């Protein structure tokens, strides 16, 4: 039961010139279920990506990063669900390399022009034979209009596909931005068990695209948390094919801020969709921290609140047990926090100030806000002028059920 | 449904000479329910305590700390449940001071000889009038043999009382150690929503007792986690009355290591009992991290594993989804961790080495260990010679139910 997750009509998902997608069922975890997705990119596309900070980085993450840094032209992506190919040691790396070799042969590309991605169970060998055997089928199905199907084929515990598609003008030139994402648990800052793929037919210089990708990740996929678990496989990719004839070489281009904003909006939407579809989520919660001395400090407080199981279960219960939020702020690690300067709002309701409860606060007001499906928690620290926003969800029975049952 | 939590028979709970306990029902949260506990200590007792690191420290924590540092002789403790008197601003401090004043008058003590403790809901005014009105009743009931009743009267969401009582010899002198604790949620290192009170009839020099209390807290109450929430009210107190005639002035005393060990065992048991009775717990999990470069590093890894909701739900399901443990180790923040040197055992079963799954590992082996109620996770980092152990529990439907319903 995703929270206000909008799925566009299939007719509103626009193909991106220069991007084709092929899908197949490799039977990696279950039979007759689309689990293999191939992207083919036109020559001269620019591709940039950011990856998980987890030290147990999955084999496909290591190989993708290596290929991006050693080859100048990425031309294909291959994504499997059902197995993360993580904590699989040297055989895992061999499986990821074999996948790139085989797809490279089929598409007449160097193996290093292929980026592999995997998502699913950790610590189990990837059945790479099944995967490789289905590659020809995926390649045969390559089509420009498969974005909607791809949003489905990369799902794991997701209940809904996550798609964002929009058209903007860069000068007079129509520009398409379409992207998909997946992820529902093991979601935490600095990349979650999430995959995000965003494409545009505008052209962007590779070095610039790299900077944009990192900066946009920090506004979107690096600002969500479901359970505080940063996965082994998180990857976010932006592809710019240049097929619409617009080429952006520097931040000085008049098109740069327009494209940046549109890509950032798309990434933010795709990231928020992951939270909206988070395992067991019934509420979408925005935690805004203001008046911090630094962005890092604001994030520390925001994540302490967003990740507290006690806060999250209170949201699930629509119970304004707001002392739990103050408690989380208190242990977030801001050593010299002056609690008498702090103010806490739930929606527009001032709940706490001067180190205690706002004397005018009525529990009925908190109750009313808690019953909404979209809730904003605003915290002013009274220390500086930096702010940060983090997105999360509540913690329900369903989360326990899903995660107790996922593996078996 | 606590996990293997042993409650001694009431006849095996030994009074501590120099300690009397009185209990009353103040009706702070519900009527006719013991919620007020008073300890009276004989003159010349030594008392030391450690308190929560949360910045939103509750009023009683601030007052207790102040009284311990400004008065040389603590003679009484007063503990209420049903309200934490936390995030209550200046009125909360006044309520805690009034409590000490009133009990001081009744017992003919200075207010600063009284330490107040509170546990319960945060951000709600303490109904101090009710508390004060019941103090005479508690004082009237002061008795040496009320430890068992006190273990009950300090409970909140606890399902079981937590008591440890033992007798040892210091030389030829029989020495009693009896203690109680409470806490079931909002439990995390550096003091949880937990209260622990430990008394002995041996005498210990005040300065030495202070050092012992801090060191013993680090072996016990600072090594448990249920949900990662460090509360506003955590307090751990050791009282040494000296009534058995033994006086320990320095670590050089032959009695010192004997008493230290017995007190540490008692504190460890009382802390582990909190985990055994943790909200919704069905399993007791010991996370041992070895071969770390420092104690801090070992703790970082141990807590990442012990606090991962994904790991904890897998334990609840008895599902050896062990990749989740590796994932948690990977994001724990050891930046230069070499995953190929790491080994992971579940019980005695080697699960992972060389960055992947142990080739000899069979899922049936993991399954067998997971079905036990007591599980040891052992992680060797291959980096150094420091080790740390942390105690936690699994994460069940029941945890969500309890915490979704607690406030209302």
Nearest CA in chain B to A314: B404
* Average pLDDT score over chain A: 89
Q: Tell me: do B201 and B291 sit in the same domain.
A: no
Q: Tell me: do B235 and B157 sit in the same domain.
A: yes
Domain assignment present for residue B2? The answer is: no
Give tens-digit pLDDT for A70-104: 999 999 999 999 998 988 889 999 999 999 999 99
Among A176, A193, A213, A282, the one annotated catalytic: A193
Q: Tell me: do B91 and B196 sit in the same domain.
A: yes
Cross-chain residue pair A317–B396, CB shorter than 8 Å: no
Q: Which two tokens stand for residue B373?
A: 């109620």
Determine the average pLDDT of the residues in A26-32: 91
Cα atoms found within 13 Å of the Cα of residue A13, Cβ hemisphere only: 21
- Per cent of chain A over pLDDT 90 is 60
Q: Which of A260, A276, A292 is the last residue of a domain?
A: A276
- Residue A5 dihedral angles phi and psi, to the nearest 5°: -90, 115
Q: Which of B276, B303, B336 is the last residue of a domain?
A: B276
Q: Tell me: do A113 and A202 sit in the same domain.
A: yes
Domain assignment present for residue A100? The answer is: yes
Inter-residue contact B155 to B35 (CB < 8 Å): no
Q: Tell me: do A44 and A85 sit in the same domain.
A: yes
Measure CB to CB from residue A309 to each of B229, B323, B351 and give the nearest one.
B229
Residue A174: alpha-carbon gap to chain centroid? 26
Three-state SS at A299: helix
Tell me the residue length of chain B: 408
Domain assignment present for residue B1? The answer is: no
Distance CA B78, CA B22 (A): 9
- Taking contacts as CB-CB distances below 8 angstroms, the residues of chain B near A339 are 55-56, 87
Among B193, B200, B225, B286, the one annotated catalytic: B193
Burial A280-290 (b: 16+ CB within 10 A, else e): bbbbbbbbbbb
Q: Tell me: do B43 and B157 sit in the same domain.
A: yes
- Residue A103 dihedral angles phi and psi, to the nearest 5°: -65, -35
- In the predicted model, is pLDDT for residue B359 greater than 50? yes
- Taking contacts as CB-CB distances below 8 angstroms, the residues of chain B near A401 are 397
Q: Which two tokens stand for residue A85?
A: 């190919």
Give tens-digit pLDDT for B315-358: 888 877 788 898 889 888 898 999 899 999 999 999 999 888 89
Measure Cα distances from A88 to A56, A140, A341, B340 in Å: 10, 30, 50, 10
Q: Tell me: do B339 and B202 sit in the same domain.
A: no
Of the residues A29, A307, A331, the best mutation for testing chain B's interface (the one with the most B CB atoms within 10 Å of its CB) is: A331
CATH number of the domain bearing residue B227: 3.60.70.12
- For residue A385, give the DSSP letter: S
- Residue A129 dihedral angles phi and psi, to the nearest 5°: -60, -45
Shortest CA gap B222–chain A (Å):
14
Q: Which of B253, B276, B299 is the last residue of a domain?
A: B276
Q: Tell me: do B250 and B289 sit in the same domain.
A: no
Helix (H) or strand (E) holding A135: helix A128-140
Q: Which two tokens stand for residue A2?
A: 């995703």
Domain assignment present for residue A2? The answer is: no
Q: Tell me: do A174 and A254 sit in the same domain.
A: yes
Q: Judge whether B119 counts as a catalytic residue.
A: no
- Taking contacts as CB-CB distances below 8 angstroms, the residues of chain B near A403 are 309-310, 313-314, 317
As for how many domains chain B has, the answer is: 2
Q: In which domain, by residue range, is B348 found?
A: 284-405
Tell me the residue length of chain A: 408
Inter-residue contact B377 to B285 (CB < 8 Å): yes
Determine the average pLDDT of the residues in B212-226: 83
Domain assignment present for residue A38? The answer is: yes
Shortest CA gap A298–chain B (Å):
15
Domain assignment present for residue B102? The answer is: yes
Of the residues B323, B352, B395, B406, the best mutation for testing chain A's interface (the one with the most A CB atoms within 10 Å of its CB) is: B323
Give tens-digit pLDDT for A370-400: 999 999 999 999 999 999 998 888 888 777 7
Q: Tell me: do A69 and A157 sit in the same domain.
A: yes
Q: Tell me: do A176 and A205 sit in the same domain.
A: yes
Cross-chain residue pair B228–A185, CB shorter than 8 Å: no
Give tens-digit pLDDT for B275-322: 888 777 889 999 999 999 999 999 999 998 998 888 888 888 887 778
Domain assignment present for residue B5? The answer is: no
Distance CA B81, CA B26 (A): 10
User: Any bridge partners for residue A356, and if so which?
Assistant: A353
Q: Tell me: do A181 and A35 sit in the same domain.
A: yes
Distance CA B274, CA B224 (A): 8
Shortest CA gap B405–chain A (Å):
7
- Taking contacts as CB-CB distances below 8 angstroms, the residues of chain B near A185 are 310
Shortest CA gap A95–chain B (Å):
13
* Average pLDDT score over chain B: 89
Alpha helix stretches (DSSP H) within B71-121? 89-107
ipTM over 0.85: no
Domain assignment present for residue B4? The answer is: no
Measure CB to CB from residue B313 to each of A90, A228, A400 and give the nearest one.
A400
Q: Which of B200, B320, B205, B282 is nearest to B251 (CA)?
A: B205
- Taking contacts as CB-CB distances below 8 angstroms, the residues of chain A near B90 are 354-356
Q: How confident is the model at residue A273 (pLDDT cuts 50, 70, 90)?
A: confident
Residue B237: alpha-carbon gap to chain centroid? 10
């Amino acid at each position: 039961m995703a929270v206000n997750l909008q799925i566009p009509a299939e007719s509103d998902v626009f193909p991106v010139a220069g991007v084709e997608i092929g899908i197949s069922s490799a039977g990696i975890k279950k039979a007759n279920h689309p689990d293999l997705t191939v992207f083919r990119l036109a020559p001269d596309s620019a591709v940039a990506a950011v990856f998980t900070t987890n030290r147990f980085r999955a084999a496909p993450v290591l190989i993708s990063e290596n290929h991006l840094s050693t080859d100048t032209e990425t031309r294909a992506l291959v994504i499997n669900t059902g197995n993360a190919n993580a904590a699989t040691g040297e055989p895992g790396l061999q499986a990821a390399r074999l996948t790139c070799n085989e797809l490279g042969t089929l598409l007449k590309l160097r193996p290093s022009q292929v980026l592999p991605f995997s998502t699913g169970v950790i610590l189990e060998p990837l059945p790479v034979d099944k995967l490789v055997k289905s590659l020809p089928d995926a390649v045969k199905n390559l089509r420009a209009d498969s974005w909607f199907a791809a949003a489905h084929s990369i799902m794991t515990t997701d209940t809904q596909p996550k798609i964002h598609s929009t058209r903007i003008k860069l000068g007079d030139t129509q520009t398409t931005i379409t992207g998909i994402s997946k992820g529902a648990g093991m979601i935490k800052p600095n990349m979650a068990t999430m995959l995000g793929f965003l494409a545009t037919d505008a052209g962007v210089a590779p070095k610039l695209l790299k900077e944009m990708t990192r900066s946009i990740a920090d506004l979107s996929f690096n600002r969500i948390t479901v359970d505080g678990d940063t996965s082994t496989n998180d990857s976010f990719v932006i592809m710019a094919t240049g097929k619409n004839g617009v080429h952006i070489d520097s931040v000085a281009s008049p098109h740069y801020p327009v494209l940046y904003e549109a890509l950032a909006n798309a990434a933010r939407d795709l990231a928020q969709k992951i939270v909206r579809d988070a395992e067991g989520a019934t509420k979408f919660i925005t935690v805004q921290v203001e008046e911090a001395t630094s962005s890092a400090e604001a994030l520390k407080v925001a994540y302490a609140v967003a990740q507290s199981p006690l806060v999250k279960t209170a949201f699930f219960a629509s119970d304004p047990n707001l002392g739990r939020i103050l408690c989380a702020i208190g242990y977030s690690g801001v050593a010299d926090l002056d609690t008498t300067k702090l103010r806490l709002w739930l929606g527009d309701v001032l709940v706490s100030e001067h180190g205690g409860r706002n004397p005018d606060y009525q529990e009925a007001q908190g109750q009313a806000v808690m019953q909404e499906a979209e809730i904003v928690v605003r915290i002013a620290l009274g220390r500086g002028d930096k702010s940060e926003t983090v997105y999360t969800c509540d913690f329900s029975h369903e989360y326990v059920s899903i995660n107790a049952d996922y593996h078996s």
